[in-house]
Every structure is written in structure tokens, then in C-alpha cells.
A and B are shown apart, each in its own frame.
Chain A
Amino acid sequence: MPSPTRQAALTTPSEALRATIRRVLASQRGPTVTVLSSLLAVQDTLGYISPQAVAEVAEFTHASVNDVWGVASFYTNFRFAPPAQHTVEVCWGPSCHVVGALSLLKAVLEGLGRTGEGETSDGAITLKYNTCLGACAQAPVMKVDQQLVGRATPALASQWLRGLRREGPG
């Protein structure tokens, strides 16, 4: 049985996070387990790659911390700070571009009070650009959390953003 001190240590946020990361790494589907698969598993669970996660992935996959950073910084879907409560993605690929992605993007930027990707000032919503959300026949496409939104217009985007605001931090 762990000592009271040990138990207290286990409950610090940092230790709890470490335990979560280790559990995620160990429970990967496999059989192919790599630096990339480990990073994807962490990102799926935590929503971002913390410095601690980099160290844990390195240890778990017998890679160097450098190698892990090299992979994590390469793929554009990894982020290194916790995301906001909600994430909005807007596609800027050519299918969407030719049917109004730019006005959609402008409406979203305006609605979020931003000039580019990143978090809103209240930290409630993360904006991310995407080059293809995979539903090109419904262009222009955006994604609100897990929901794809096709045939999106500036008005529809504003409606979704208002919806997220009403919901508030959950």
C-alpha cells in the first residue's frame, strides 16, 4: 500500500497526467506501435502534446526526446498547449475556396475576434485552418468540434459560433 506522501504525490496534476499518458501509451491498438502512433494516441486523449508526453513517448518507444519532437513538430495536427473547450476548423483548400471559403473564414475570424489561427481571448474557442476536411462535395466545409458542417455560409458559421458561446465552457 502506498504511503500517504506517495498518495499525495500521485494526485498532483503532473503525476495524474503522467499516469494518464502512460495508460494511453500502453493501451494502443497496435500491433504497430511507433513514435507517431504514440503521439496520435496522446493527442486523441489529452488534445495536445505536453513536454511530459514527449518524454514519456520517448521512453516508451525507446526513441530520443529529439526524435519525438521531430515527429511531433512535423505533422500539422499536433498542438503543444491544451486546446480550448471548443475547436472550430475551417477548410481553405481549392474546392472550398472556389465556392466561398474566404468569406466563410472572414466571418469566423470576425466572430472569434481573431486575425488567424489560435485561441479566442476568453480561451473558449480554438480556431484551426485545415487543407481538407474530406467532404469536398459539401464545400465550403467547416468542422465544429466533431461535427462536419457542409455548404457553410458566413451566416451559418455565425449561428454555430453563437451556439458555442451560449453553451459556454462545459
Chain B
Amino acid sequence: MTASYAVLQERAQGRQWALAEKRRVRVGTALCGMAAGAGAVLDAVRREVGSLGLEATVSEVGCLGLCYAEPLVDFQSPGGQRVFYGNVAKEQAPRLVRAHLVEGQPAMEGALATLGGEALPGVPALGQLPMMKGQLRIALGNAGHIDPGSLEEYVAVGGYGALDKALSGMAPQQVLEEVARSGLRGRGGAAFPTGVKWRFLASSPGPVKYILANCEEGDPGAFNDKAVLESDPHALLEGIVLAGYATGASKGFVFVRHGHEGPIHRMREAVQQAYAAGLLGANILGAAFSFDCEVVLVGESYVSGEETALMEAIEGKRATPRYRPPFPAAVGLWGKPSNINNIKTLTYVPPIVARGGSWFASIGTERSKGTAILCLSGAVQRPGMVEVPMGRTLREAVEGLGGGVAGGRKLKLLQTGGPLGGLLSADKLDIPLDFDAMARAGAILGSGGIIVADDTACAVDLTRLLVAFCQFESCGKCFPCRLGTTHLLEIMERICRFQARPGDLELMHTVGTQMAAGSLCGHGQLGFNPVQSALKSFGAEFTAHIERRTCPAGVCDGKYLTPERSRR
């Protein structure tokens, strides 16, 4: 017997009331928190609460985005006010527990922010923090607030309401039209209109069709897909089921890179809970629609994030791209019609269905609707994850939210859109976050990764590193990519060792052009992009390395390490 949505809501409300009476401690334990030591902090909090026999719920939450302040802990009083602490050391945790849960102090010294309740002197409201101000959270609304391991908490904030709305009152075609009307474009890098993509699948014959949610996310500098899985996995799952309903698909796969245990665990847990609650499987929420979902792991391979290589990987093979046509919407996974969507794209779908496509289309720019979910990393004051309306500038993101370059240095460049995205010089900060404006400036918004480099970085050295990444990750199927990236790397290494030969730049250009022309997927097609974009903005630095045999930034000393290609 499948539960109705009303029953789920009732259960969720019951839990919320029970929780509201208790005090609660939240510890962010997503990948970034764990890397900052949140595991030990969580243990310390639990130990203290346990040994004092305190009536309090200790919850793990995902990523609030304030990664610079991890480990992040917040204490919620029965009145609902939350007091956040940043950079909490495990030694500090017991004192915070006693202050909040035993002595009932409103806030301790060093509190980062408050949320809800009365303002506390000297402690800003969460939304007033420089990194939070001006954010618009659609896909990340629940991140860092709800327990990703609890279906009830997701339902309590309206979760699965969009699915209920669709299944109880909308035809699949209507759901598809809302998504088309929203103007949503794919957030994986290609920015293809989601509604158009879904129409291709909807018009393919069934009954077996697949929705593939891509969380390979091998791009260094991008972690927002993993953050969604770790922070709000049910939101993604609801998006997948809605995509399945709209397109007439029968099963979804969430594709995650092996080794990222947190995201994998959270997603598997969510799928299990959804089955148990009648949100997956036969006759979802009592409707005539049935849909399955499974989490599939892939080995380490950057190219497996490419949509056709991803299907090969799910089938258990080497992750190499397929020829197109036929396109996946006609012949995809195991030969069945399939749609491959990015995690963020699918996570936007529940709010679009709940609030209408026009609402989403009212946010952002003319051709880039909704928000951009950005990951700030590198030499930035406040590394982390933010969500802002499309149309804001890179400057607002990097300087406003991120606080600019750390340590009082000067900004040198941004590396956006993943390793193939290339370099943007510091004078390009006024480009708006817009797929097309970014492309016109020779950059890619891509998956939202923004790596900040200060003036201690050498553009030539960083270009060599990006080329090394492309070479290391070439899947080897197309020889222009396999040999071309190797050739490019050899030349870049020569340049960094001040051993450039006459004609090396022209040679790279020839190799790069042939890679673009002769490769099946974006890896080879865009593999020359890092060099090309770097030459455009930092030509003088290349000239210094090649002609004067010096590195103006003082980075290249001929003794760098490029991890050797180790497909052993």
C-alpha cells in the first residue's frame, strides 16, 4: 500500500513538532566540512551531549556554502533561534555544548551568525554575512539546514510537493511545458535547453527509457553537484522522478564517482527511503506512474562525465564516447532512449513545477534563466559555494561574496568552467554570469567552478598543469586527442623549462586545431582551449618564457612535477 502525500506530510509534521521542542545541534559534515575536521568535531559534540545526558538532537547537515568557516556548528534553541559558529576546533566543541545546552547562554564569543529569533548584539544575521548577502537560493535552499538523511525533514519543508502536484493534477506534457517555459538550460557545461532535451526523449518510443543524473563531477574546482547529493539528495531525486514523469521514462540512474563516500552514501540512503515511502517503485503516491532509481558508481575517469561515455560506464565498459548520431534520446543506455542531465539542472525542476516556469524565467537574464551555483576556490578570501541570479557579474561573485583575493595579494586570473575552460584575466571581472556572455568573452560558465589565482601564480605554469590534466584524462579513443594532448604537454613542458624551440607556438596551434577537428567529444575538442585562452590574455608571459627564458612570476624553475601519466 503506497502512502499518499498527505500521510507523508502528517508524519513529517509530527517529527518537526517533536524536534521543535528539543534543542538541536547541527554539524556540517559534507566533504568540505570533513576535510576541515568536522568528523572530530561531530564526535566531540556527541560525546559531550551523551556524557552530560542532555536532551538535544545532534544532526549532520550538508554544505551551507560557507566552506571558509568549516567546520561549522550551529545550536538551535527550543524557540527556533540558531546560533552559528565557524572554524570550530574539536577542543572548543564541549565548551560550546555546555554554554548553549546547559547554561543556556544566547551566544558565545566568536559566534559567526544567527538565524531566526531576536538579534543578538555583535552577531550578524546569517543573511547579512558578506558571503550570504545577495544570494538567491533555489537549488541550495535546504543545504546546510535540513538533515540530508531524513526524508521527513525534506517533506516538512514542502519536499515532494511538486511531485504530488504533478502526479495528481498535471499531464506529463504539462510538466514538460513548465520546464520548457522556465527557460532552464543544462548546468553541466553545454547549456542546452532542458525542455528541448526532454521533448526529444518524450517523443521517443517507450516503454523502457532512462533518466541519467550525472554526478561524475571530475572537474577540479567544482563540487556543487556533490554538495547537492550531500545536502539535499531528496530534492535531486524528486527532480529525477519529475523528469521521468514528463518524458515517460521508466528508470533513473544517479551516476557518482567512486571514492566520494559521503555523496554516495547520502544518495543511496535517499533512494532507499523513497522506495520505502512509495515515492519510487510502482504506482508512486498512488498514481498510475511507476519509476525506479538506482545509484551507479564509476571508476576514476574524467571523460566518463561526457554523456555517451557515461552510458558506456554504466554498462560497465571503458568510459569512451560514442559516435553521434544516433543521439542518446533515440539510442542511449543499453540501446534505450535516454536523457543525461546535470545534478543542478534536475534539482531546479521541483521548484519550477511547484512555482511555475514563468516564475523561474523571471529570474536571470534574457537567455540564461534562474541562478548560477558557483564554487569559489583557490586564492580567494572566502572559498565556498554560492547561488546568485544569472546576470550578476564575476566581480560580484569573486569580490563581493568571495571577498576577493586572500592575503592582500592582487588578482591575476580566474580559471572557470573546468580544466578545459581556460583562463580569464583579471580585467574580465565585469562579465555577467550568463552562458552566452561568458562564451563571447572566450570563457565557459560550465559547471560553475571558479578557481582564483593571485599574482604569485604563473599563467604559463598553470596552463601546463591544465594541459597535463587534459593529457592525463584523455580516454584514448580518438588519436588526435590522445596524441595531441601528449604533444601539447611536451611543448608546454619545454616552455616551462625555458627550452622552447622556434615555432613551438605555431606547432601547438596546428595540433590544437586538429584535436578540435578530429575528436569525438568535448575533451579533445576543447583540449587546446587552456593554451589558446592563456595565449590571448597572457601572451607576454609566454614570450618571456620562450624568448627571454625567464618566468616573470618566479614560479617556473625547471623543477616542477607533472604527475606522470599512470594508467597502470
CB <8 Å contact, A94 and B316? no
CB <8 Å contact, A139 and B259? no
B449 on the A face (CB < 8 A): yes
CB <8 Å contact, A95 and B451? yes
Contact with B along A128-165 (1 / 0, CB 8 A): 01111111111101000011111100000000000000
Residues of the B chain whose Cβ atoms lie less than 8 Å from the Cβ of A36: 298-299, 313, 316-317
- Selected from B314, B319, B378, the residue in CB contact (under 8 A) with A74 is B319
Cα–Cα, bound, A86→B358 (Å): 54
Residues of the B chain whose Cβ atoms lie less than 8 Å from the Cβ of A74: 299, 301, 318-319, 475, 567
A26 vs chain B, min Cβ distance (A): 16
Cα–Cα, bound, A98→B458 (Å): 9
CB <8 Å contact, A136 and B377? yes
CB <8 Å contact, B221 and A95? yes
CB <8 Å contact, A137 and B220? no
B300 on the A face (CB < 8 A): yes
B60 on the A face (CB < 8 A): no
Cα–Cα, bound, A32→B452 (Å): 40
CB <8 Å contact, A71 and B318? yes
CB <8 Å contact, A73 and B567? yes
B384 on the A face (CB < 8 A): yes
B70 on the A face (CB < 8 A): yes
Cα–Cα, bound, A150→B294 (Å): 31
CB <8 Å contact, B378 and A139? yes
Give the most central of A32, A38, A98, A133: most B CB within 10 Å: A98
B114 on the A face (CB < 8 A): no
Number of interface residues of A (CB under 8 A): 55
Given known A-B contacts A97-B462, A150-B36, A76 and B469 have beta carbons under 8 A apart: no
Cα–Cα, bound, A35→B454 (Å): 45
CB <8 Å contact, A137 and B218? no
Among B27-35, B157-165, B344-352, B497-505, the one that faces the other chain is: B27-35
Contact with B along A25-36 (1 / 0, CB 8 A): 000010110111
CB within 8 Å of B: which A55-109 residues: 61, 67, 70-71, 73-80, 91-99, 102, 105-106, 109
- Selected from B258, B296, B316, B376, the residue in CB contact (under 8 A) with A137 is B376
- Selected from B70, B218, B261, B462, the residue in CB contact (under 8 A) with A131 is B218
Residue of A nearest to B461 (CB): A97
A39 on the B face (CB < 8 A): yes
Residue of A nearest to B35 (CB): A150
CB <8 Å contact, B34 and A148? yes
Cα–Cα, bound, A39→B419 (Å): 28
CB <8 Å contact, A95 and B220? yes
Contact with A along B249-283 (1 / 0, CB 8 A): 00001000011110100001000000000000000
A116 on the B face (CB < 8 A): yes
Cα–Cα, bound, A117→B260 (Å): 21
Residues of the B chain whose Cβ atoms lie less than 8 Å from the Cβ of A98: 378-379, 415, 451-454, 457, 462
Cα–Cα, bound, A19→B343 (Å): 39
Cα–Cα, bound, A46→B92 (Å): 38
Residues of the A chain whose Cβ atoms lie less than 8 Å from the Cβ of B451: 94-95, 98, 136
B443 vs chain A, min Cβ distance (A): 14
- 10 residue pairs bridging A and B, Cβ less than 8 Å apart: A67-B317, A94-B221, A94-B462, A116-B564, A131-B469, A134-B263, A136-B449, A137-B68, A141-B35, A150-B32
Q: Which 6 A-B pairs have the closest CB atoms?
A: A34-B316, A75-B299, A93-B220, A150-B35, A137-B67, A135-B35
Which residue numbers of B lie inside 8 Å of A, CB to CB? 31-32, 34-37, 39, 67-68, 70, 217-223, 226, 253, 258-261, 263, 268, 294, 296-302, 313-319, 375-379, 383-385, 415, 419, 449, 451-454, 457, 462, 465-466, 469, 472-473, 475, 560-561, 563-564, 566-568
Which residue numbers of A lie inside 8 Å of B, CB to CB? 29, 31-32, 34-40, 61, 67, 70-71, 73-80, 91-99, 102, 105-106, 109, 116-117, 129-139, 141, 146-151
Q: A34-B316, A98-B454 are in contact. List 11 more A-B contacts (CB 8 A).
A: A75-B319, A78-B299, A94-B221, A94-B451, A94-B469, A98-B462, A117-B563, A129-B563, A137-B375, A138-B383, A141-B35
